[in-house]
Structure 1
Amino acid sequence: MPAPLLSPATQEHEKALAAAAALRWVRDGMVLGLGSGSTSAQFIRQLGAAVQQGLKVSGTATSLASENLARQVGIPLLEPRRGLRFDLTVDGADELDGQLRLIKGGGGALLREKTIETASNYLLVVADSSKLVPVLGDFPLPLEVVPFTLPWVLDAVQALGGSPVVRTSLTESAEQYRTDQGNLIVDCHFGQITDPDALGPQLQAIPGVVEQGLFLGLAKAAIVIQHGQPMLLKPGEAPRPASEFTELP
């Protein structure tokens, strides 16, 4: 079954609902990973409002855009350092399946996202209803690539059946998109990814691929809007209303 088509207004409303449900699990003193993308931006804005009302948290952002937004809304930020771990990271996904395997990187922040989420005790995904899919792959799978290696990465991805496309800049269509680290993004069109657990290591092993956009075994839970309500999804469990939980499930 394809993901539902949502109007922009409905999609924004669902993102705000998912973010609000996630905010209920944030506690004083937590060190947070702040995700990237439009749903994460909803969470950051709502978190900032809670900080202004006295909530005491700190965090590190997964992109420069999220970092700038966090500063604007008054969230104290931590610089990367050895030993830094996060109690909770809240981030979106471009796609997720029932086992909470994710495709991420539509915004180009997959390297920092995976770094912070690997250093997190708990990754909570927030998503509108269009992001939950039966099989990953309708959304192109992003790779962050060192520029010098690009021709050989494209050859290797093509050999794997990935139909690679180098992402162009959102503002200058003649220019290649650059990540916060100055690397390129290659969007790979595999179609249905029936075995993401096998594909991820194959892509990661290509010289020049800094990071690939399959996030496997990282998400502990997801809040996804279903029939207008925030539902909590965990691997191997039936969805339950997120309102049933008052702390990290």
Structure 2
Amino acid sequence: MSKQTPQDEAKIVAGRRVIEAYLKDGMQIGLGSGTTSYAFVRVLGEKVREGLRVEGVTTSTITRDIAREVGVPLLDINDVTQLDLTIDGADEIDRAGRMIKGGGACLLWEKIVAYTSKRMIAIVDETKMVDPIGAFPLPIEVIPYGWRNTMHQLATLLATFDYDAPRLELRGGSSDPVVTDSAHYIIDCHLDAIPRADELAPLFNQIPGVVENGLFVDICDEIVIGHFDGSSEIIRIRD
């Protein structure tokens, strides 16, 4: 087994803080995707074995497999009207809760589950806190049919936000594209910074061919941050 890095340990710290601060017996929760979420699910499995009674809805097949491995009971999202909360990571997040998600190509399921929840808690290590967001490439989930045309329309939209010929890439390339759990493609937009995320986010989904975008704005209620020194903190975005 490889030795854990300080970043790995910070993710575990954040996961333990989330469980202490938020989880109660009987809750139905959304289980996010990405390395921090996977660390949380493994910690959650420990608590379930100790007697914590919760049920989860997963945001990816990877999360599903990890949850089953560690013994977290799972529900089908189609059998749930509303979850108590969702706990998910972020590729980048600012202190107002604006996030970029989708580095693991799970953004569509992640957004569906987040919107199904009463509250959404972002769980991150300290490296994910940035201002502004945008250094991480922004993922856009698109249908395979006409993806080059969709990419052209994305570039046209971004030009109206003063992005001059931004670099847009089909993740994996045209010969071996990454395929999401919903059988879609991912186009990564290299924008460097997104100071107008609130304005830009709803416009992506107006483009035919776009299924969902990786800007998560006005979704996060609280942020739990794990630090390399072993401490953690909670930032409350809204009550």
Q: CA offsets per residue over residues 226-249 of structure 1, 9 Å max, x none? A: 46321111238xxxxxxxxxxxx7
Which amino acid letter does the alignment assign opposite residue 168 of structure 1? G
SS of residue in 2 equivalent to 1:108: coil
Which residue in 2 is equivalent to 1:123?
120
Question: Does 1:54 find its partner at 2:51?
Answer: yes
Q: How many Å apart are 1:189 and its aligned residue? A: 1.0
If the length of structure 2 is used for normalisation, what is the TM-score? 0.91
Distance (whole Å) between structure 2 residues aligned to residue 96 and residue 149 of structure 1: 31
| Corresponding residue pairs, total | 228
Question: Does 1:86 find its partner at 2:102?
Answer: no
Larger mean Cα displacement after TM superposition, 99-108 or 226-235: 226-235
Percent identical pairs in the alignment equals 37
SS of residue in 2 equivalent to 1:148: coil
Which residue in 2 is equivalent to 1:142?
139
Which amino acid letter does the alignment assign opposite residue 138 of structure 1? A
Which residue in 1 is equivalent to 2:222?
221
Question: Does 1:166 find its partner at 2:133?
Answer: no
Provide closer, same or farther for how the CA distance between residues 153 and 117 of structure 1 changes in structure 2, counting only shifts above 3 A.
same
Q: 2:111 aligns with which of 102, 111, 114?
A: 114
Structure 2: state its 5+ residue gaps. none
The answer to whether the Cα contact below 8 Å between 1:95 and 1:132 also exists between their aligned partners in 2 is yes
Which residue in 2 is equivalent to 1:10?
6
Which residue in 2 is equivalent to 1:3?
none
Distance (whole Å) between structure 2 residues aligned to residue 107 and residue 77 of structure 1: 21
Q: CA offsets per residue over residues 183-221 of structure 1, 9 Å max, x none? A: 000000122111001111221111111000000111100
Provide closer, same or farther for how the CA distance between residues 47 and 83 of structure 1 changes in structure 2, counting only shifts above 3 A.
closer
Which amino acid letter does the alignment assign opposite residue 44 of structure 1? V
Distance (whole Å) between structure 1 residues aligned to residue 220 and residue 201 of structure 2: 16
The answer to whether the Cα contact below 8 Å between 1:96 and 1:133 also exists between their aligned partners in 2 is yes
The answer to whether the Cα contact below 8 Å between 1:100 and 1:234 also exists between their aligned partners in 2 is no
Q: How many Å apart are 1:180 and its aligned residue? A: 0.3
After TM superposition, the runs of 4+ consecutive aligned structure 1 residues lying more than 2 A away are: 225-228
Which residue in 1 is equivalent to 2:207?
206
